[in-house]
Amino acid sequence: MRLFPIVLTVVITGVLLAWVLQRDRFYAQLGITSEPATESVEVSETPEAEPSPESVAQSNLIKVVAYHSVAEKIDTGIVLRGQTEAFRQVDVRSQTTSTVVSTPLRKGMFIEEGQEMCVLDAGTRGASLAEARARLNEAQARKAEAEARIPETRTRVPEAAARLAEAEARLEEALTNENAAVKLAEDGFAADTRVKGARATVAAARASVAAADAGVEGARSGMSATLAGIESAQAGIESAEAGVAAAQKEIERLVIKAPFSGLLESDTAELGTLLQPGTSCATIIQLDPIKLVAFVPETEVNRVQVGALAGARLASSADLKVSGNVTFLSRSADPTTRTFRVEIEIPNTDLTIRDGQTAEILIQADGETAHLLPASSMTLNDEGTLGVRTVDPDGMVNFVAVQLVRDTPEGVWLTGLPDQVDVITVGQEYVTEGVQVAPTFKGTKS
């Protein structure tokens, strides 16, 4: 055990304690006084100058820090939150009833426009097409037969008309002979038998005229019947052609093709599946180009123009930024939200953008003047209005409502202020409108 250090520590402690307690006694034995000498100092009796009332009032004002801000022209934009949407999406459905005889295509495949997706069993549709074509040939034959009778019927009408003219001439001759016979009989130069014979000839001529006239009407009726037969045959041809077209269309519906190039969002119908009209074969979507869809509030809709530049940042990747143009702005508001649909078309050649991704969209709008101020300078008044407190040349505080245009790392861009204004940036929370303050300016001061 080290005893010596402990004893030495106790001795030194005792000596120091004795020195502190008996310091005055030691000084007296050595003839040294412990009171320091003092020198007489002449005190000036001159009174201090009293401060002026203006300086006293100025010293009592609240100190604030203000910034002299000058408005600048900036490009503004409308920030929206929306999502991506496929340019086109179609659920391709069957238009006929039959079973699938093709191998299904798997979802995720890229298919070209017109490529076969589902092939259905033809069944008896080929026989129906052959029957329709046979009916068409029959109708065409009937029309050809009716048309062949046209020359014959056309010659009958002139022949009947000629016979009618001949009969009318004979009637006129018979009437002349009858008149002569009657006059001769009255004068006694002809017998009654001659008159009677003339009258019989007239009667026969009239009968010939009637027969010839009936022949003309018959010829004309035959012509009309022939033309009616041609029209009936033409109607039969059109009906048969419609039957052929329907049969051909039914056969075409057996092959369901892609309406446009895109990606299969689902498998095509499985082999042996019975498809009926309206049954889905597969869903196909087109992602190049792709649309950005958002809804603009009615307070901002007048600032959006079709054709305006727009950019977006996808929520899935902060580095994935895209740009395009506004292609559509709805003219009708959503009845529930009172917002207007806006669509932006952007290229997507590598298909990296998917349908339904969330996007933060910025649409370019007309520029306006705004002030760049620290975000901390904004405050709320008693009514909860967002604004800033300003100070006029007399040091009076005012509250001005503002609108936030853009938030940047350097500060916030605000509108609603005059072109030049002194904004309180420090101490604005401790003063109210109408209070006089003592501002200290930092930054630009004109």
Which amino acid is located at 204 in the chain?
Answer: A
Rounded distance, CA 194 to CA 177, Å? 10
Q: CB-hemisphere CA count at 13 Å for 113?
A: 5
- Which of 377, 362, 361, 360 shows the shortest CA–CA distance to 414? 377
Rounded distance, CA 294 to CA 313, Å? 13
**pLDDT of res. 231:** 84
Question: pLDDT, tens digit, for every residue of 36-69?
Answer: 444 443 434 444 555 555 554 556 788 999 999 9
Which amino acid is located at 343 in the chain?
Answer: E
Q: Are 295 and 339 in contact (CB under 8 A)?
A: yes
**pLDDT of res. 445:** 42
368-373 vs 411-415, strand pairing mode: antiparallel
**pLDDT of res. 175:** 76
Residue-wise pLDDT tens for the chain (446 aa)?
A: 466 677 677 777 777 776 666 666 655 655 555 444 444 434 344 445 555 555 545 567 889 999 999 998 887 778 899 999 999 999 999 999 999 999 999 999 999 999 999 999 999 999 999 999 999 998 888 888 877 777 766 676 677 777 777 777 777 777 777 777 777 666 666 666 766 777 777 777 777 777 777 777 777 777 777 778 788 888 888 998 999 999 999 999 999 999 999 999 999 999 999 999 999 999 999 999 999 999 999 988 988 999 999 999 988 776 788 999 999 999 999 999 999 999 999 999 988 899 999 999 999 887 788 999 999 999 998 888 999 999 998 889 999 999 888 788 889 989 899 999 999 999 888 888 889 999 988 865 43
- Average per-residue pLDDT in the chain? 83
What domains can be seen in the chain, in order of their start residue?
A: 62-74+368-441 (2.40.420.20), 126-252 (1.10.287.620)
